[in-house]
Chains A and B, each alone.
Chain A
Amino acid sequence: MRATTRGKVKVLSGNQAAAQAAVLCQPDVVAAYPITPQSEVVEELSRFLAEGILKAEFVEVEGEHSALSVLIGASSSGGRTFSATSSHGLLYMFEAYSYAATLRLPIVMAHVCREVAAPNTVLCSQQDIMLARDAGWIQIHCASCQEILDSIIMAYRLAEDPDILLPVNICYDGHYLSHLSARVEVPDQADVSTFLPANKLRECRLDPDKPMMQAPYLGGKLFTEYRYKHCLAMQNALQKIDYLDEEFQKSFGRSYGGLIEEYRNEDAEIVLVALGSAASTAKAVIDLKRDEGVKVGLVRIRCFRPFACDRLSKALKGAKVIGVIDRDVCFGWNTGIVFVELRSLLNRLRMNQPMVNFIAGLSGADITKDHIERAINNMQLALHGKFGPEVTWLDLE
C-alpha cells in the first residue's frame, strides 16, 4: 500500500538531492571540501546555511583530511555529522577515513564516484570507492537522484543504530548522477523527522566532565576483539538495510530492494550484475532483449559493504550465466573488483555457473545501451557453450 506522497516535486541534480537530504536529516556539524564532481554539494549546503534552513555548525576546512577529522571530533562528542567527497578527496582524507570506521562513528558521507589519477581526469568510475572497500565503512550505491536523497535519510538510521554504529558512504556516479537533473520528490521535514528524529546526543565519549579515552594503544589480542566486534556490526547491518527499506516504503512509498535490487530476474538464465547508473540503463536494454525472447535479468548491488552474500546467493541461484559489469579495475587479478568478490561468493556456495566480466565506463566513458547489449550477446554465446575470454574490456574491442 503506497503512502501518500506529501513531499514537493522538484527537479534536482544528484548533488542537490544529496545536499537536500543532508539538510532534512538535521546534522549538528558539517564539514566538507569541494572537489569535482562533488562541489555542488558543498555549494548547496552553504546556500541552505545562508538561508537559515541548515542549522548546523558548518566548519570551513582547508582540505578533506581536516574535513573528516573535524567530523570525527564532532561525532565522538555525540553529534550527527555529514560530509561529501570524491576520488582524490577521499585519498587525501584516507588516514582519517580509516579512523572513522574503526572508532565506530556513525558519520554519513556522500561519495561521488570518480576515477583516480593517472592519467589526469575528473570523470566517472567507481575505482575510488572500491579502493576503500576494506576500511570498514558501509558502502551503498545509488542509481537515481531520488535514491540518493532517500538513501541518505535511511543511512542515518542505519549508522546510528546501537547494534551497528558504523559510518556510511552513499555513493553515486560522477556526472552521470551527480550532474543529472531529474524529477525528485522532496519529503517534508515533518515526515523525515518522524522517520529519523533529530539527534539527541548519543553517548559522548569526549565529555569533559566524564572523559573516556578513544583509540588507546593496544596490542594483539585485545585489539583483535575490536576487529571481531566491527565485523559483527557489519553483519548486523545486512538485515537492518533490508528492514529500513521496508520501513521507508511504509513511510514514503518508495523502495529500492534493500541490499540488492532485482529486475526481471525470476526466470532469468542470463543475469547481469552491476552497480550505479549503468544498472539503471541496463533495465531498458533488458526490456528490449526480453521482447526478443532472451531470458535476461539484472541484479543491482546496492550494498557493496557489507557484501550481501545470502541475498545474492538466492538471486543468482537460478542463473545459467552471470555477467558482471565493473566500472573499476582490480589490478591484482586482471579483472574488475566486483567480479573477484562475486566469484568468491559463488565458490563459497559451491555454485559454479560460468561467470564473465565486462570492464567499461572508466574515466567518464559512457556505458551505452550498445555496450550492455554486447555484454548480453556475449553471455548468450556462453549460454550455448561458446566461451570467449573471461574479461572483455568493452571500450577496447
Chain B
Amino acid sequence: MEFKTKYDGPWVDIDRNDLLTNDVGDWRYRSPEVDKSKCSLCGQCYLFCPTGCIEDRDTYFGVNLAFCKGCGICAKVCPSEAISMKTGGHQ
C-alpha cells in the first residue's frame, strides 16, 4: 500500500505545510491595515491576536495575512489607533 502520510502516527514536521490545517486567512472578509507611523511598538496587538499572526517587524508590528481571520481584535486594542479594518484584502 502506498501512503501519502510520512509517519506511522498523526504527528507532522512543522516545516511541511501539507498536513497542517488550512490557512485561516481564507476566512477573512476584512483585513487589518497597520499605519506604521502610528505604531508605538507596545505589542498589545501581538499579545491579543487569537491566531498569533502578528509579527514584530522591528519598526512596527505587522500582520501575517495567511493566518489572519479578520476578527478585528488588534484594531480594537491598539492604544495608538494604528490599525484599521478594511474590507477586502483576500489572498
In the complex, chain B residues whose CB is within 8 Å of the CB of A396 = 1
Tell me the minimal C-beta distance from B24 to chain A in angstroms. 15
Whether, in the assembled complex, B10 has its beta carbon less than 8 Å from a beta carbon of chain A, the answer is yes
Nearest-neighbour CB distance to chain B for A281, whole angstroms, equals: 26
- Closest residue of chain A to B12 (Cβ to Cβ) is A119
Q: Which residues of A contact B10 (CB under 8 A)?
A: 118-120
Q: How far is the CB of B79 from chain A (nearest CB, A)?
A: 35
Residue interface mask B8-28, A partner, CB < 8 A = 1 = 011000000000000000000
User: Which parts of B73-88 form the interface with A (CB within 8 Å)?
Assistant: none
Q: Measured between alpha carbons, how far is A119 from B9 in the docked complex, in Å?
A: 8
A window 374-397: CB within 8 A of B: 396
Q: Which secondary structure characterizes the binding site on chain A?
A: loop
Determine the residue in chain B with the shortest Cβ distance to A117.
B10
Q: How far is the CA of A396 from the CA of B4 in the complex (A)?
A: 10
A118, A119, A120, most chain B CB atoms within 10 A: A119
Complex CA gap A111/B9 in Å reads 28
Within 8 Å CB of A118, what residues of B? 9-10
Residues from chain A with Cβ under 8 Å of B1 in the complex: 396
A120 to B9: give the CA distance in the assembly, Å. Answer: 12
- Taking CB atoms, residues of chain A closer than 8 Å to B9 are 118
In B17-54, which residues have CB < 8 Å from any A CB?
Answer: none
> A119 CA to B12 CA in the complex, in Å?
11
How far is A396 from B1 in the complex, measured between Cα atoms in Å?
8
Cβ of B78 to closest chain A Cβ, rounded Å: 32
CB of B31, distance to nearest CB on chain A (Å): 27
**Within the assembled complex, what's the spacing in Å between the Cα atoms of A119 and B10?**
5
Q: How far is the CA of A247 from the CA of B1 in the complex (A)?
A: 50
* B61 CB, nearest partner CB in chain A, Å: 30
What's the least CB distance linking A284 to chain B, in Å? 30
Q: How far is the CA of A354 from the CA of B42 in the complex (A)?
A: 71
Q: Smallest Cβ distance from A394 to chain B, in angstroms?
A: 13
A118 to B7: give the CA distance in the assembly, Å. Answer: 14
- Residues of A45-84 at the interface with B, using a CB-CB cut-off of 8 Å, are none
A120 to B22, CA, bound (A): 13
A120 proximity list for chain B (CB < 8 A): 10
Closest A residue to B21 by CB, please name it. A120
Report Cα–Cα, A119/B5, bound state, in Å: 12
Flag A112-136 by CB within 8 Å of B: 1 or 0 each: 0000001110000000000000000
Cα distance A396–B3 in the bound complex, in angstroms: 8
Q: How far is the CB of A311 from chain B (nearest CB, A)?
A: 37
Q: Which of A206-233 contact B (CB under 8 A)?
A: none
A118 to B1, CA, bound (A): 21
Complex-state Cα separation, A104 to B71, whole angstroms:
48
Q: Closest CB of chain A to B14's CB: distance in Å?
A: 15
Residue of A nearest to B5 (CB): A119
Chain A, residue nearest B19 (CB): A119
CA distance A67 to B55 in the complex (A): 42
Which chain A residues (341-397) contact chain B, with CB distance < 8 Å? Answer: 396
Nearest CB on A from B16, distance (A): 15
Name the distance in Å between A272's Cβ and chain B's nearest Cβ: 24
Return A341 CB to nearest CB of chain B, in Å: 26
A119 to B8: give the CA distance in the assembly, Å. Answer: 12
Q: How far is the CA of A119 from the CA of B21 in the complex (A)?
A: 11
Tell me the minimal C-beta distance from A331 to chain B in angstroms: 14
A166 to chain B, nearest CB (A): 36
- Cα(A57)–Cα(B29), bound, Å: 41
Q: What's the nearest-Cβ distance from chain B to residue A389, in Å?
A: 11
Cα separation A228 to B10 with both chains bound (whole Å) = 42
CB distance from B20 to the nearest CB of A (A): 11
CA A118 to CA B8, docked complex, whole Å: 12
Chain B residue nearest to A118 (CB atoms) is B10
CB closest chain-A residue, reference B3: A396
> CA separation between A374 and B55, bound complex, in Å?
50
* Complex A-B, nearest 5 residue pairs according to Cβ-Cβ distance, in ascending order: A119-B10, A118-B10, A396-B1, A118-B9, A120-B10
Chosen A-B contacts, 5 in total, with CB atoms closer than 8 Å, are A118-B9, A118-B10, A119-B10, A120-B10, A396-B1
